[in-house]
Amino acid sequence: MEKCPACRALVSPGQTVCRRCKTDLSVLLNMETQAQMHSDRALAAFERQAFEEMFYHAKRSAGLINTPDAIRLLSGAAVLAGKYETALNLGMRLT
């Protein structure tokens, strides 16, 4: 997280409370950590060609942080898992 979601102040790595507005950032930091864990697991599943598992973890990651990279990973996982309509809908969100 680069900026506080409440006041948009810059946030330093590891900072758990916004210096400006005192918002607790720990929940959001935990969400980012969980999303990265699921992204890593999706990539590991890809290496094993376990595409349903890849889709599961990519979906969890995108649900936690809705970033273009998370959506791209989910779209690719959807294609590999044979979920073509889902992949198409996700691809349209990126354009």
The class of domain 34-94 in CATH terms is mainly alpha
What lies within 8 Å, CB to CB, of 33 at 6+ separation is none
pLDDT profile of the chain (95 residues), mean per 10: 91 92 94 96 98 98 94 96 95 82
Domain ranges in the chain are 34-94
Q: Can you tell me the distance from the alpha carbon of 73 to that of 48, in angstroms, rounded to the nearest whole number?
A: 16
- Output DSSP code: residue 55: H
Q: So what's the pLDDT on residue 93?
A: 83
Q: So what's the pLDDT on residue 8?
A: 96
